[in-house]
Amino acid sequence: MTSSPDTTGTQAGSASSVEEGAPAVPLVEVRSASKAYGPTVALREVSLSVGAGEIHGLCGQNGAGKSTLVKVLAGLVQLDSGTVLLDGRPIELSRPLDAQHHGIALVDQELSVVPALTVEENILLGGAGRPFVRRRAADRARARELLERVGLSQLSPDARVESLSMAQRQLVEIARLLGREARLLILDEPTASLSRADSLVVFAALRELAARGHSVLYVSHRLDEVLDLCDRVTVVRDGARVADESATALEPARLIELIMGDLHRHERAANAARSAPDASDAVELVVRVAQPPRIGGVALRIRAGSIVGLAGQVGSGTSELLRALAGLEPGGTASIELPGGRVARPTSSRAAQAAGIDFVSNDRKGEGLFLERSVGENLVATRLDRISRAGIVGRRALREVAGRLSERVHVKTRGLDAGVLELSGGNQQKVFIGRCLERGSDRILLLDEPTRGVDVHGRAEIHDLVREAAGNGTTVIFASGEPDEVLDLADVVVCLHGGDVVAVRRAEEMTASDLLAETTRGRAAATEEPDGR
């Protein structure tokens, strides 16, 4: 492990020279950090230490305090008490610029690269101390050098960012931060919108950067990735640190136990307990979607009350298929032939809702939650007609329904009146899902990445709720980029590639590697469900 980033002489001073036998000074250390938001304690005397050249994982349930800790390091949130040290010396992080000066860089989930600009323009954008007059040759050389450091030496600096894959965009963002002398890179759920292949590209670049002495703080709910990538892992639970362990010695089951405490449950058991819908009383729906050029003609025969998992890499058309069914793809021709000969044509989101189709988007902030409203209001937002009399919504009825839903999805909140923006990301997702529950049977529930940003326990809970909805007659179609999630939750798996259905299989007949092979190979196959479905 090196102790000083190899940055061709551009780094600020570092803790490079460690005397033989003396303990290495961590690059960044947080000591006894505490932070409360009003009555909510987000951090309780948490400590964290990241060595130079170390990839350090940060894990914890939704609401455990990870983002708060990250925001402290990024200068976005101030501690109530505690210290942050860099190279063993206390530093002030009162604003984002302080973090930048100290070489601490947050790689944002919503990347700050500008799609319409070129790679070089993005990399050199807003760099501190840039001369006013552009020095073309020097800029070009600098851009190339930074691209090389993130494994993108083949990429033209003139390429527009909008033409790049998500992984390449993420790496361009990292190159930009390296250009600002970043020593600690903080990544918060970086693979949430990446395919597996893209994730591996980013991991390779991170390992290379660590080998050159940069440090990485890696926040993720994807525990296999954490164990695969990280050297050490810190686990926080209810705002307190419960572990700081070497990742190599850590078993997955032990990590889950550390994260969940006593709450740990085994999900596959829950799935096994759910009996698949009985073939004898099969009621079928036929789903047809054409949305050229992104989706060819898809025709699926689906048993009512079953759970259909759409699997595919980014760009395979899984999201577009769901959105077409939700009436959100203009010009799309989606139809659902319902039992009894009725045909639903979701030409708009209103038409979809009228036909009994609920949609949980993968963009909960942009398309789901009413961000300025409370948790309670968000939970009941789509059922106001059912709890109002003559157009007047009774406060008691509202609280009763919201309270029940909040309990069912186990939202961690100080109360129904709390603003939904106060919730951690995973808890916001639970509110979003909770809103689509208990809407009556014979409905169709569409979920795009239902557990994105949700911890293992919350994920199991959301899966249980989905199974329960299916058990009550709701037909569920969901998309997920995680093979394990598709196989855990679905009865039937539909694999898409390049906008076409390439395989339809029962989940119990598939392994994760079958699924990966189908979704990456893209070979032609039947489009109807297997025997009798």
Ligand X SMILES: Nc1ncnc2c1ncn2[C@@H]1O[C@H](COP(=O)(O)OP(=O)(O)OP(=O)(O)O)[C@@H](O)[C@H]1O
The residues of the shown chain that bind ligand X, judged by CB under 6 A, are: 37, 40, 42, 60, 62-68, 412, 422-427, 453, 455
The distance of closest approach from Cβ of residue 104 to ligand X in the complex, given in angstroms and rounded to an integer, is 17
Question: Shortest Cβ distance from residue 365 to ligand X (Å)?
Answer: 13
> Residues 412, 418, 422, 428: is their CA dihedral positive or negative?
positive
Residue 67 CB, nearest approach to ligand X (Å): 3
Q: And the tokens for 6?
A: 């190899």
Instruction: List CB contacts of 156: < 8 A, sequence separation 6 or more.
Output: 119
The distance of closest approach from Cβ of residue 479 to ligand X in the complex, given in angstroms and rounded to an integer, is 21
Find the shortest distance in angstroms from Cβ 225 to ligand X: 15
Sign, CA dihedral 465-466-470-471, equals: negative
Residue number with CB closer to ligand X (168 or 427):
427
* Residue among 346 and 426 whose Cβ is closer to ligand X: 426
CB closer to ligand X, 66 vs 435: 66
**What is the smallest separation between the CB atom of 413 and ligand X, expressed in angstroms?**
7
State the DSSP H helix or E strand holding residue 176, giving kind and residue range, or none if neither: helix 166-179
- Alpha-carbon distance 422 to 424, whole Å? 7
Nearer to ligand X, 62 or 318 (CB): 62
Residue 274 DSSP SS3: coil
Min CB(454)–ligand X separation in Å = 7
- Nearest distance, CB of residue 200 and ligand X, angstroms: 23
Sole residue written with tokens 């025969």: 301
Q: Helix H segments across 212-348?
A: 223-229, 252-260, 267-273, 318-325
Separation CA 234–CA 50 (nearest Å): 10
What's the sign of the alpha-carbon dihedral 453, 457, 460, 464? negative
Q: Which is nearer to ligand X, 189 or 514 (CB)?
A: 189
Cα separation, 504 vs 20, in Å, equals 60
Minimum Å gap between C-beta 63 and ligand X is: 4
- Least separation in angstroms between CB 462 and ligand X: 13
* Distance separating alpha carbons of residues 519 and 482, to the nearest angstrom: 11
Please report how close the Cβ of residue 406 comes to ligand X at its closest, in angstroms.
Answer: 13
- Cα–Cα distance, 430 to 462 (Å, whole number): 7
The rounded distance, in Å, linking the Cα atoms of 308 and 301 is 10
Whether the Cβ atoms of residue 389 and residue 377 lie closer than 8 Å to each other: no
Is the CB of 60 or the CB of 103 nearer to ligand X? 60
Q: Is residue 151 within 8 Å of 201, Cβ to Cβ?
A: yes
CB nearer ligand X, residue 127 or residue 415:
415
Residue 457 or 533: the one with the smaller Cβ distance to ligand X is 457
Q: Contact at 8 Å (CB) between 120 and 140? A: yes
Cα atoms in the Cβ-side hemisphere of radius 13 Å centred on 257? 5
- Residue 189 Rama label (left phi>0; alpha psi -120 to 50; beta): left
What's the CA gap between 385 and 379, in Å, rounded? 13
Rounded to 5 degrees, what angle do the CA atoms 70, 7, 234 make? Answer: 30
Which lies closer to ligand X via its Cβ, residue 118 or residue 424?
424
Nearer to ligand X, 62 or 474 (CB): 62
Q: Closer to ligand X at the Cβ: 109 or 156?
A: 109
Identity of the residue, 334 or 465, whose beta carbon is nearer to ligand X in the bound complex: 465
Convert 415-446 into a string of H (helix), E (strand) and C (coil). Answer: CCCCEHHHCCHHHHHHHHHHHCCCCCCCCEEE
Contact call for residues 512 and 488 (beta carbons, < 8 A): no
Least CB distance to ligand X at residue 42 (A): 4
